[in-house]
Structure 1
Amino acid sequence: MRVAKRPIHAAVTWVKRQPSKVKAFLSVVAGIAALVFLRFIVYDHDNLFVAAEAVHAVGISVLIYKLTKERTCAGLSLKSQDLTALFLAARLYCSFVMEYDIHTILDTATLATTFWVIYMIRFKLRTSYMVDKDNFAVYYVVRYLIYIMEVVPCALLALVIHPSTSHNIFNRICWAFCVYLEAVSVLPQLRLMQNAKIVEPFTAHYVFALGIARFLSCAHWVLQVLDTRGRLLTALGYGLWPSMVLLAEIVQTFILADFCYYYVKSLIGGQLVLRLPSGVV
């Protein structure tokens, strides 16, 4: 086992010593290599989106275990959970009125468990909630449910850039809103972990699952565009909307990429607790 770890440890050490530009280049190369790998081993690339939602569900399951067995919500951002519930509710509405399929069922289950996590943090385990660390720069009205810094810009962007399909205008704006909000919903969680410096295992597993889910979702869109030779973009509508969908997926992936790097590095080093350096968020 030790012999097997030496090449990996040497590679990690080498990457760690490289300047930021080289690390960024290596990350892009690794991402492209992963896309090529997925393109050849996954026959139906639509399954990647289902896989992304399934991985998200696994992450939620980790939270359920943490909250029920350890009876603590330390390290979890209530703001991120609220934003997650908001974009899931919007996406679920769009799914019901525009395209009812397997994603509707998966989103329903994820939204229900997210509400349960919010309930546990807000009421049952509120004494362990790190409210002083959950200080991402957002303002709130209507009892903390509408986050001005994130929700309003997403709503305004949705009003300007949304699908140009034949659906009702409100439904199209709602669809765009949930896409934009999902892209930034994890930021409060990352900021809380940055403030805490030390991330306990179950929280780290949950955020890593979100990172994998976001990459699979991004891979789904990129590979679908390649498979259809760009026809998927016109199927989504015209103007800036198709590009914004891809951009939102890429933004989500890169937001979590840095954390996933330190997570994998921590696992390789045999550390149970993840320590984040400054500047990750």
Structure 2
Amino acid sequence: MGRRRGSAVNKMFIWVRKQSMKVKIFLGVACFMSSLLGLRFLVKDINQFFVASEFVHAAGILVLIYKLTTQNTCSGLSLQTQELTAIFLAVRLCCSFMMEHDIHTILDFATLVSTLWVIYMIRFKLKATYNEDLDDVPKYYLIVPCAILSLFIYPHTYHSHLSKISWAFCVYLESISVLPQLSMMQKTKMIEPSTAHYVFALGVARFLGCAHWIIQVYESAGAYLFLLGSGYFWLPMVLLAEAVQTFILADFCYYYVKSVVNGQLLVSLPPV
């Protein structure tokens, strides 16, 4: 029975692979909307999506820690992505101390400490196994645009101007922080399990974050888009940032699930 089920799923992946880009996009959107509908009926308090998202991200970091401590190698991991992650987490943690003081603050602190440990291991303890030549996306290419955008589009709240700009910067940087890791994986083609689990966890986390905003907009008939914002653009930009990262990770998640279904330990990406 298990083999038949696996064979049927594998045939489905092969069928999807053969379809045109328009059909693939339609199927992707259909799956995304179906998942949103299912989540809406299963979860009563949609604010829990953010907590779940942060838990999944933290779980992904724990997978990396397990890899680094048991395998003594950081091969395939992007230091650039880890440092970008540490930057937006550190800034968001400062904002959280001033603006929230809740479960999000605790989760961000734990994730930041774990990320800093991963950075330390890559930079110093396991430097000999780091593929620096493949991790070549300059951080400032991503940081500078996010910083400039945050000066113009940020939440309109009662907090300090610096806090509002900093929070916007975190949202924008988080949405593209995974790009160096994806670029590195595209060059290697074969991704070992721990790295694949980590990136898949990021994909799930971003899907949950995106689901929160979409459901909020839907249930308010669009009015939620304009509740806060500088020039009415803040919440639309948040939704766009979440959608961008979800889209960026969607293709990898497809191949990850396909590899798991086929019982493969390594995730294989197609040529560009």
TM over 0.5: yes
Shift in Å, 1:161: 1.0
Q: Deviations over 1:159-218 (max 9, x none)?
A: 011112222111110011000000110000001111111100110011001000110111
Q: 2: distance between equivalents of 1:210 and 1:50?
A: 14
Q: 2: distance between equivalents of 1:8 and 1:267?
A: 11
Shift in Å, 1:228: 3.6
Query: What aligned pairs does 1:246-261 form with structure 2 within 5 A after superposition?
Result: 246-261=239-254
Q: 1: distance between equivalents of 2:84 and 2:58?
A: 16
Q: Which residue of 2 aligns with 1:243?
A: 236
TM-score by length of 2: 0.96
Give the one of 253, 265, 268 matched to 1:272: 265
Shift in Å, 1:234: 3.4
Q: 2: distance between equivalents of 1:5 and 1:112?
A: 39
Q: Any gaps of 5 or more consecutive residues in structure 1?
A: 139-146
SS class of match (2:156): coil
Q: Which residue of 1 aligns with 2:167?
A: 175
User: What letter is aligned with 2:50?
Assistant: F
Q: 1: distance between equivalents of 2:13 and 2:144?
A: 41
Q: Which residue of 2 aligns with 1:216?
A: 208
Q: Which residue of 2 aligns with 1:134?
A: 135
Q: Is the 8 A contact 2:226 2:233 kept in 1?
A: no
Q: Which residue of 2 aligns with 1:71?
A: 72
1:149 aligns with 2:141: yes
Q: 2: distance between equivalents of 1:102 and 1:224?
A: 21
Q: Is the 8 A contact 2:6 2:262 kept in 1?
A: no
Count of residue correspondences? 270
Q: Percent identical across equivalent pairs?
A: 58
Q: Which residue of 2 aligns with 1:114?
A: 115
Q: 1: distance between equivalents of 2:115 and 2:84?
A: 10
**Please, which moves more after superposition, 2-11 or 115-124?**
2-11
Q: Any gaps of 5 or more consecutive residues in structure 2?
A: none
Q: 1: distance between equivalents of 2:144 and 2:82?
A: 17
1:15 aligns with 2:16: yes
Q: Is the 8 A contact 2:226 2:232 kept in 1?
A: no
SS class of match (1:132): coil
Q: 2: distance between equivalents of 1:96 and 1:71?
A: 35
Q: Deviations over 1:17-70 (max 9, x none)?
A: 111221111101100000000000111111111111111111011001000000
User: What letter is aligned with 1:28?
Assistant: V
1:234 aligns with 2:226: yes
Cα RMSD between the aligned structures?
A: 1.2
Q: Deviations over 1:77-131 (max 9, x none)?
A: 0000000000001111111111221100000000000000000000000000000
TM-score by length of 1: 0.93
SS class of match (1:166): coil
SS class of match (2:154): coil
Q: 2: distance between equivalents of 1:189 and 1:236?
A: 33
Q: Which residue of 1 aligns with 2:181?
A: 189
